[in-house]
Amino acid sequence: MAITYDKQPSSYTQGPGVTTVFTPGASAQTTVFGSQTRQIRVANGGTIAWIKIDQNPTATATDSMLMPANTVDYHSVNPGQRCAVFGTGGSLSVTECS
């Protein structure tokens, strides 16, 4: 019998959310993360997407993290970074946590 662990909620409080709407075949960036941001919450809609977190990222299907459809995940970031989104079209919500 396997032991499974449920995901625990983030220990950070959520700040204002930024929804990035991306068009098919193009990489879209969020605004620069704030000086107190150490974690982001990424919620993907009904289509797959790829994300990349860096100072000036460009997300592609070959070198970025895959975000399956209808998923929510948390990622550690540094202040001043951005999140880029690439996919088949749709929306992806990026919420700064501090």
pTM here is 0.77
- Residue 40, C-beta contacts closer than 8 angstroms, at least 6 positions apart: 33, 53, 74, 75, 77, 83, 94, 95, 96, 97
Is residue 47, in this structure, part of any structural domain at all?
yes
In this structure, is residue 25 part of a structural domain? no
What's the pLDDT score for residue 64? 92
The count of structural domains within the chain is 1
Within a domain: 3: no
Let me know: does 40 contact 94? Beta carbons within 8 Å: yes
Give domain status of residue 37, yes or no: yes
What is the residue range of 55's domain? 32-97
The predicted-structure confidence for 44-94, as pLDDT tens digits, reads as follows: 888 889 999 999 999 999 999 999 989 999 999 999 999 998 888 777 888
Is 36 domain-assigned? Answer: yes
Q: Kindly state whether residue 12 falls inside one of the protein's structural domains.
A: no
